[in-house]
Structure 1
Amino acid sequence: MERVYIGLGSNLAEPRQQLHSALQAISALPHSQLLGVSSFYLSDPLGPADQPRYLNAVAELDCALEPLQLLDALQVIELDQGRVRKAERWGPRTLDLDILLFGQRVIDEPRLQVPHYHLHARAFVLYPLAELAPQLTLADGRQLSALLAACPFTGLQRLAPNDTNNSLAWR
């Protein structure tokens, strides 16, 4: 089993429900155990500004699947929840599931880069990740605390647990 962190995001079709449904599906993955979920965060969209704000979170799990097996399973969850992959990058979507970290592995494959290639610059990933693993050291030696110090909490709004009905049920 390896410790894996997955970023979740949605800004279409009831984002709160999208994240809850994704968490249920992640918790049912074979050879995996969902350990925790961060608070939900509202974040400004990347890319086109004429789209709704995103709802984001990070899930922590122990996983015995290989990285590409997990990626395939996550993409099935996205498709099951109405994800349509378009040529436009950073556009609106029902669900986005990204493998952020996979144990201490560094993966550079055409379909998968781990640590996630923009992890260091995305407050909507770093701050929820810090809730789950504040002392985290990435496989490349970078400290999560140093990444947080270089990435301001701009454009984020952490939702209180009673606003999200999320993290307490998953810890």
Structure 2
Amino acid sequence: MSESPNPNIIDADTLTGEMRPIRRVVVALGSNLGERLANLQGGIDALADTPDVWITGISPVYETEPLDCPPDSPTFLNAVVLMDTTLSAHRLLDRALAIEDAYDRDRSHGVNAPRTLDVDLIVVGDRRSDTDALRLPHPQAHERAFVLKPWLDLEPDAEIPDMGPISVLLDKVGTDGLARRDELVLEYDE
């Protein structure tokens, strides 16, 4: 005789029809306006305060030359955050945009304009999306040393789905324009 599930236990996922697996998420943070380190820390604190999100790692901070930005743009501070979550990719995107808005992110000057805080979803588990609202994995992550190097510091064996190991991708891109800033530390409560 086979076992059947206990009919007296209510499974919330069954009620909603939504499966909520735990996914590994990689988020890239960047700031080149205002109190850059405080902006990054604020972004981490806001992510940590998000229900159903658990931060599992924060990379060292890197100072990076602006990429595809207007002339005379200030240098960026960048870091990568690893998280586990049961939230959907779209809910994470909404949260990332809300965090940017809380730091007065100005989107009126184009995609690569200087910014107080940039919160980019790089990967959300093995999720793939190619809509105007959400592209996963992040379409430029494999070309950006300021994403690959901090991520490599946290997970040397990590891969970007459909792109390959981040170590190989970083070898192709190189690390020119990146400077690790060990005196600048980002924290989270475990």
- TM-score higher than 0.5: yes
Interval containing the TM-score (normalised by the shorter chain)? over 0.9
- 8 Å contact kept, 1:41–1:158: yes
> Aligned to 2:186, which of 141, 144, 166?
166
> Aligned to 1:126, which of 148, 170, 175?
148
Q: Report the counterpart of residue 80 of structure 1 in structure 2.
A: 102
Q: Report the counterpart of residue 61 of structure 1 in structure 2.
A: 83
Task: Work out the CA distance in 2 between the residues paired with 1:50 and 1:89.
Answer: 16
Task: Work out the CA distance in 2 between the residues paired with 1:24 and 1:12.
Answer: 18
Task: Work out the CA distance in 2 between the residues paired with 1:170 and 1:129.
Answer: 20
Cα deviation, residue 85, structure 1: 1.1
Q: Report the counterpart of residue 174 of structure 2 in structure 1.
A: 152
- 8 Å contact kept, 1:35–1:170: no
Question: What TM-score does the superposition give when structure 2 sets the normalisation length?
Answer: 0.84
Q: Report the counterpart of residue 61 of structure 2 in structure 1.
A: 40
How big is each residue's C-alpha offset from its partner over 1:2-39, in whole Å with a ceiling of 9 and x where there is no partner? 00000000011100000011100000111110111000
Partner secondary structure for residue 158 of structure 2:
coil
Task: Work out the CA distance in 1 between the residues paired with 2:71 and 2:23.
Answer: 37
Cα deviation, residue 139, structure 1: 2.0
Q: Map 1:79-98; keep pairs closer than 5 Å.
A: 79-98=101-120
Q: Which has the higher contact order (CA 8 A, sep 6+)?
A: 1
How big is each residue's C-alpha offset from its partner over 1:26-64, in whole Å with a ceiling of 9 and x where there is no partner? 001111101110000000012213111000000000011
Task: Work out the CA distance in 1 between the residues paired with 2:136 and 2:118.
Answer: 16
Task: Work out the CA distance in 1 between the residues paired with 2:101 and 2:164.
Answer: 33
- 8 Å contact kept, 2:65–2:177: yes
Partner secondary structure for residue 23 of structure 1:
helix
Structure 1 residues 141, 41: closer, same or farther in 2, change over 3 A? Answer: closer
Partner secondary structure for residue 47 of structure 2:
helix
- 8 Å contact kept, 1:37–1:170: no
Please say if 1:110 is aligned against 2:132. yes
Q: Report the counterpart of residue 23 of structure 2 in structure 1.
A: 2
Give the total of aligned pairs: 168
Structure 1 residues 159, 97: closer, same or farther in 2, change over 3 A? Answer: same
Task: Work out the CA distance in 2 between the residues paired with 1:51 and 1:148.
Answer: 24
- 8 Å contact kept, 1:36–1:170: no
User: Structure 1, unaligned stretches of length 5 or more?
Assistant: none
Q: Report the counterpart of residue 18 of structure 1 in structure 2.
A: 39
User: Structure 2, unaligned stretches of length 5 or more?
Assistant: 1-21
Question: What TM-score does the superposition give when structure 1 sets the normalisation length?
Answer: 0.93
Structure 1 residues 170, 136: closer, same or farther in 2, change over 3 A? Answer: farther
Task: Work out the CA distance in 2 between the residues paired with 1:20 and 1:60.
Answer: 14
Partner secondary structure for residue 97 of structure 2:
helix
Which structure would you say has the larger Rg? 2
